[in-house]
Structure 1
Amino acid sequence: MDEDETGDVVLNFYDSLLYKADVSLLDDQKWLNDKLLGFCFEYFEREKFNHSADKLSLINPDVAQCIKLLPNDQLGEFLETLNLPTKQYVFLPVNDNVQCEQTGGSHWSLLVYIRSRQEFRHYDSCKTSNQEEARRLAYKLQPFVHAPMGRMKFLEMDGPQQSNSYDCGVFVIATAEHLCRELCEGYSISLNDVVTQKSVTETRQKIRDLIHQTAKEYSGS
């Protein structure tokens, strides 16, 4: 995204840089971009669930896109700093874009690797729209998380479903947050009871509030 087109910076948080145009996507009926998902994932890992940083990895959308589309022989050094073989849970946003140079596409979903079960779990708020993209990403990631190929499973999960064409990214963020609480903090209320179309609509404002609060706290970063 070009700075001249986006206007003033709203938030500079570690690797996340958000402009007014990015934050405006949190208005009703707008599709969230990779920068908003990337910020939420980075905030969850660095702040909200930093108590589990040794076992949790939430991968940025542009990195997930590279994993999906780059040849394996180019991924080893690229992924080395993420220490994925040491992580118990790896979260990746999935999109249906087929261009390596950019994220985007028309739909977001969530892929989660659970080491103890040797499972990749796919949560798609629009039935199985991203199933093949998620499956491709899982098998690309398999050697880099040291998942044993013979026992590894790919599962389509019965997750919450959107009732419109634009909330997929918010569903990914809300689902990722809930699963982090469940996996790292023992939260026991079911995903489908917590993440609903109504709660996702409210989550847009919560993300906006989080961005502005974090901007105040990290104004010097």
Structure 2
Amino acid sequence: MVKKITIGKNTEKRTYEQKKDGEKSNDQNEKEKTSVTETIKEKEPDDCNILEYHGTNIRQSDLTSLEGENWINDCIISFWLEHLQRVTFCQNTQLLFVSPATTQLIKIGDKKDIPNILNHLGAWHMEYIFFPVNDNELVDKSEGSHWSLLVYSKNDHTWYHLDSQRGLNNKHARCLMTRVNAIMEGETPPKFVVTNCTQQDNGYDCGAFTMLHAQEMAKKAVEKLHLDTCEVSTLEASKMR
């Protein structure tokens, strides 16, 4: 059973504020991990379902994650990717948007399960696969502080990583890539490219940018455009809430 990922509240903000104030920050790969501080209130008994959308349940508390400076949680991101799959890009059968929970299972779950997971998704028949990457490294705890997007292009034989905080999630994206590469056929593994993408100007919009980058990269994929750059509007990111 995959434990639901809930984003913490303080790590990304502290990283951003330290850079802004000129304080010395730790190496990205050794940044301090904090336990999850609730982005939203713990689900109470009366925290009822607002919407069920193809396996994604949205509760009132999930909607709270869209307010103010709260961090957008995994349920909202899952809903958005499902919407891209079934509505926005429903005519294109070569795009696959993987849920946050499934991505996390591939990244830190039992390696023996990965082939079955990807086969079940029909991943090997897709030209482009979109993974929302979270920096949680614990299987048994809901802990995490940052979202980014990893896109696999079969045509380019390349992984593209889009991180709105200057590569903060590179280690976690590479971990996911390495696990998938291990079961791919072919002698030469796909390369890893850091896509030049729009950066957030605050400490809480990583989820919004991950969703917006997924939409924009899918548009570029459909139009057969290069995926090494992805410019979006910071205003549009704020409108994602």
- In the TM superposition, residue 182 of structure 1 has moved relative to its aligned partner by 1.5
Q: Per the alignment, do residues 102 and 59 of structure 1 end up closer, same or farther by CA in structure 2, a change over 3 Å counting?
A: farther
CA contact (8 A) 2:62 2:75 kept: yes
Aligned amino acid, residue 201 of structure 1: S
TM-score when normalising by structure 2: 0.76
Q: CA RMSD in A?
A: 2.1
What secondary structure, in the 3-state scheme, does the structure 2 residue paired with 1:165 have?
coil
What secondary structure, in the 3-state scheme, does the structure 2 residue paired with 1:12 have?
strand
- In the TM superposition, residue 12 of structure 1 has moved relative to its aligned partner by 0.7
- Establish whether residue 142 from structure 1 lines up as the match of residue 181 from structure 2: yes
Aligned amino acid, residue 191 of structure 1: C
Q: Distance in 1 between matches of 2:217 and 2:46?
A: 32
- Establish whether residue 99 from structure 1 lines up as the match of residue 138 from structure 2: yes
State the partner residue of 2:240. 203
- Establish whether residue 156 from structure 1 lines up as the match of residue 156 from structure 2: no
Q: Distance in 2 between matches of 1:86 and 1:102?
A: 33
- Establish whether residue 28 from structure 1 lines up as the match of residue 77 from structure 2: no
Aligned amino acid, residue 49 of structure 1: F
- In the TM superposition, residue 66 of structure 1 has moved relative to its aligned partner by 0.7
Detail structure 1 runs of 4+ shifted over 4 Å in the superposition: 185-188
State the partner residue of 1:114. 153
CA contact (8 A) 1:11 1:18 kept: yes
- In the TM superposition, residue 203 of structure 1 has moved relative to its aligned partner by 2.0
What secondary structure, in the 3-state scheme, does the structure 1 residue paired with 2:151 have?
strand
Aligned amino acid, residue 211 of structure 2: I
List gaps (5 residues or longer) in structure 2. 5-41
Q: How many pairs does the alignment contain?
A: 199
Q: Per the alignment, do residues 178 and 47 of structure 1 end up closer, same or farther by CA in structure 2, a change over 3 Å counting?
A: same
CA contact (8 A) 1:95 1:103 kept: no
Aligned residues: percent identity?
27
- Establish whether residue 62 from structure 1 lines up as the match of residue 101 from structure 2: yes
Higher helix share: 1
- Establish whether residue 182 from structure 1 lines up as the match of residue 220 from structure 2: yes
State the partner residue of 1:51. 91
- In the TM superposition, residue 60 of structure 1 has moved relative to its aligned partner by 0.4
